Amino acid sequence: MDNLLELAKVIFALVAVLGLFYLLMRFLKSKELYNQTNQMRVLEKCYLGKDKLVCLIEVVDQVLLISVTNQEIKLIKEVELADEVDLSQAKKGLNLFKKGKDEKND
């Protein structure tokens, strides 16, 4: 009977430690400690296939379109945003480019 009680204590302690570890990891992930300078941020990602995507990123005052694969990260071009859209609205999924789907080709 004593062995069963000791086993229950060990299992409870293990569950408590794993639970605290899980909560700590969620807390650290939400704080974004890896990007403290706020000099760079990803505005949008578009996945093209397995391990292939294009990203719209802001670096200081420039907006860059890059491609990312397993082998390389490549600059496609520097993007000019529409004058009436500021970068704080980029995360809301607005049409940021001067030419887009909203324009009609006449």
Q: Which domain holds residue 81?
A: 40-92
pLDDT at 35 over 80: no
Cβ-based burial of 66 (10 A; exposed 0-12, middle 13-18, buried ≥19) = middle
> If pLDDT is split at 50, 70 and 90, which confidence band does 41 have?
confident
Do 52 and 88 lie in one domain? The reply is yes
Do 44 and 84 lie in one domain? The reply is yes
pLDDT at 103 over 70: no
In whole angstroms, what is the distance from residue 45 CA to residue 52 CA?
A: 10
Do 27 and 53 lie in one domain? The reply is no
Do 45 and 87 lie in one domain? The reply is yes
Q: In what order do the strands lie in the sheet with 52-59?
A: 40-49, 52-59, 62-68, 73-78
Q: What is the mean pLDDT of residues 72-82?
A: 86
Pairing of strands 52-59, 73-78: unpaired
Q: Is the pTM of this model over 0.85?
A: no
**Is the pLDDT higher at 104 or at 18?**
18
Do 22 and 44 lie in one domain? The reply is no
